[in-house]
């Protein structure tokens, strides 16, 4: 039997060969690490729904920032648990709000760390929805009134020193409205990372426990995307790019790698993907049972998101992945 002159297996024979011809690479520079900021002092409490992740008080951020910087992770995403909630989520834009204080602490401790602030109201509203409600029974949100409060939040975050504002509420017209508000406030250089494609996903469950942001009634399917739709995702990204989005996000990542790939093909802007809490917890749970090699499965997962076309991965695996990358040949 004759074989072709070039046989693919020759290029898989050794680790050095595999590294030489590797098509997709994962770098620490592709990682953004989410942080959950809570009230109090001296708080560093493991989150039951996200083993290995912690609720951190603002005074604990010096130590956390030092660890992140040592690993070379260039950016973090902040989520806040406020001291109080109300119908409109007013703590989100308070000058002394939990995220604003965290931003200032992080920028003081590690000025070069890129700080992104999640710009949404669900953690701050007493009902857990992402804006001002029109109808409590259905959870329908008043789009235009919510934009006003999101703009207040974005400007407050930028005033505190945020490098990136990341609106995640899926309100129509958010990007253009926030871009105008930020520019008018003198924050022309603040980056807008749009959650342009955020699906109404069951994979958010562990996060909603961690951030205390589950809807008290109804659900978010009237404003988050139907998991069945791809063409709609393209329209959402197109609108946000036209309105001034600097980067766009697909959330979740793994069930929507086809969406990541299609957006990468269609648009010439940086593409992020959020490797969400449910995806993280599945690996943690399977590894705890001894069903898989956690480190290998984690790195395989992250490289799949890169292979689909994501430039940036928001992931709870970031510190563990960065540690492994630092030891790789």
284 tagged catalytic:
no
Name the token pair of 282: 């599945």
The helix/strand/coil state of 119 is: strand
Look at the block and give the residue holding tokens 């998101």: 305
Q: Is the bond preceding residue 252 a cis peptide, omega within 30 degrees?
A: yes
C-alpha 200: how far from chain center: 15
Residue in 70, 84, 85, 198 annotated catalytic: 198
Name the token pair of 314: 């928001």
Q: Which 8-state DSSP code applies to residue 55?
A: E
For residues 274 and 104, what is the distance between their CA atoms, to the nearest angstrom?
Answer: 24
On whether the CB atoms of residues 174 and 195 are closer than 8 A, the answer is no
On whether the CB atoms of residues 167 and 240 are closer than 8 A, the answer is no
327 tagged catalytic:
no
Name the token pair of 156: 């407050």
Q: Positive or negative, the Cα torsion across 77, 185, 149, 101? A: positive
Residue in 84, 107, 108, 251 annotated catalytic: 251
On whether the CB atoms of residues 306 and 30 are closer than 8 A, the answer is yes
Catalytic residues: 198, 251
């Amino acid at each position: 039997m004759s074989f072709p002159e070039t046989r693919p297996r020759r290029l898989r024979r050794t680790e050095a060969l595999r590294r030489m011809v590797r098509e997709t690479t994962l770098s620490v520079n592709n990682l953004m690490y989410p942080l959950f900021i809570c009230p109090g002092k001296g708080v560093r409490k493991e989150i039951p729904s996200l083993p290995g992740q912690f609720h951190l008080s603002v005074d604990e951020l010096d130590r956390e920032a030092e660890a992140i910087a040592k690993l070379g992770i260039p950016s973090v995403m902040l989520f806040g648990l406020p001291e109080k909630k109300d119908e409109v989520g007013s703590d989100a834009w308070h000058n002394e709000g939990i995220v604003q204080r965290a931003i200032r602490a992080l920028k003081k401790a590690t000025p070069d760390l890129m700080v992104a602030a999640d710009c949404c109201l669900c953690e701050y509203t007493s009902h857990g929805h992402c804006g001002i409600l029109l109808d409590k029974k259905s959870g329908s949100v008043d789009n235009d009134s919510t934009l006003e409060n999101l703009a207040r939040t974005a400007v407050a975050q930028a005033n505190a020193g945020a490098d990136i504002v990341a609106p995640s509420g899926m309100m129509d017209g958010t990007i253009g409205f926030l871009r105008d508000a930020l520019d008018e406030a003198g924050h022309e250089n603040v980056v807008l990372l749009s959650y342009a494609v955020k699906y109404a996903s069951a994979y958010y469950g562990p996060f909603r426990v961690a951030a205390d942001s589950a809807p008290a009634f109804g659900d978010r399917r009237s404003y988050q995307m139907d998991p069945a739709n791809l063409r709609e995702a393209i329209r959402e990204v197109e609108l946000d790019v036209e309105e001034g989005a600097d980067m766009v996000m697909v959330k979740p990542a793994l069930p929507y790698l086809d969406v990541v790939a299609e957006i990468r093909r269609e648009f010439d802007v940086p593409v992020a993907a959020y490797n969400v809490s449910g995806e993280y917890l599945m690996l943690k749970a399977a590894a705890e049972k001894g069903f898989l090699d956690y480190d290998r499965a984690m790195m395989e997962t992250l490289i799949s998101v890169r292979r689909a076309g994501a430039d940036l991965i928001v992931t709870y695996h970031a510190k563990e992945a960065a540690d492994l990358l630092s030891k790789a040949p």
